[in-house]
Amino acid sequence: MNALWAVTLATLVKDIRLEWRSKDALNSMLFFSLLVVVIFVFSFDPLAEESRHIVGGLVWVAFLFAAVVALNQTWARELRNQVLDAYRVSPAPANALFLAKALGNFIFVSVLEALMTPLFVIFYNLRVLGPAWQLIPIAVLGTWALVVNGTFFAAMSLRTRSREIMLPLLLFPISIPAVLGMVAGTTAILTGEDSAHFYIVLLLTYDVVFTTACLTLFGMILHAE
């Protein structure tokens, strides 16, 4: 157990260091999300009441597409110089690599969300009518739902020829329940018309089920030729 956490931490620190130096994932995610915000702002000019109904969808679609950029980068750097082979021949647990990658992606996407959310609030003149604190569990659980499956499917499509295309094809369909929960939960909180409790429980269940499945299956993915 100690080895698992020690390797997870070492791999996470290494990934953050690599991202800090290259900024590949963060820059492209930020650029993409900014583009989405600007395009939507110029495309239609909703009233404050309308904004509260549509922003939940816009925000999460923007974050979902932007996250795919980071998810592809995660494993791409392990392919350069075949570094992944050095991990595969080591006694380090496969799950430590998966956890570190998922946690790394969670941090990168969370940073993106922290930077982009104020822009959404300003551009769409948002005022939350429901309990605002509930946006935090929705954001945390929703982001984890995106990155845990994304990290797994990005690893799975690692050895395919067109992995950039494969990842969204695998990830988006399986993320539908989570995305629906995130969008509906966010809208419920913004409008104050409904309780977000059901969506928080839905996201929590989704996260537990898929995190367990990914951890169980990742060893096979890592050691497959």
Partner 1 sequence: MPIPDSERVGILPLIVTDTPGSTITVNNVIKQFGRFAALRGVTAEFDAGRFHAILGENGAGKTTLLRALAGLAQPTRGEISIFGRSPQEACRDIGYMAHPSLLYDEMSGMENLRYFGSLYGIVGDARCEEVIRAVGLDPELTRAVGQYSQGMRQRMSLARAILHDPRVLLLDEPFSNVDVHSARAMVGLLKGMRDAGKTVFVITHQALLLEGVADEFVWMQAGEIVDRTASLARSASSAEGIQ
Minimum CB distance to partner 1, residue 86 (Å): 4
With H, G, I as helix, E, B as strand and everything else as coil, classify residue 136.
helix
Of 97, 75, 89, the C-alpha closest to 4 is 97
Q: Tell me 174's DSSP state.
A: H
Task: Give whichever of 87 and 172 is closer to partner 1, judged by the CB atom.
Answer: 87
| Residue reference for tokens 């082979």 | 85
- For partner 1, which residue of 1, 21, 47, 162 counts as binding (CB under 8 A)? 21
Q: Give least dist CB 224 to partner 1, A.
A: 9
Q: Please give the residues from 168 up to 207 whose contact with partner 1 meets the rule CB under 8 A.
A: none
Tell me the HSE value of 110 on the side-chain side, using a 13 A CA sphere: 16
87 near partner 1, rule: CB under 8 A = yes
Contact 223, 94 (CB under 8 A): yes
Output 3 or 114, the one with its CB closest to partner 1. 3
Q: Site for partner 1 (CB under 8 A): how many residues?
A: 25
Q: Is 127 helix (H, G, I), strand (E, B) or coil?
A: coil
Instruction: Answer whether 215's CB lies under 8 Å from 185's CB.
Output: no
From candidates 1, 42, 91, 118, binder to partner 1 by CB under 8 A: 91
List residues near partner 1 by CB under 8 A.
Answer: 3, 6-7, 10-11, 14, 17-18, 21-22, 77, 80-83, 85-92, 223, 225
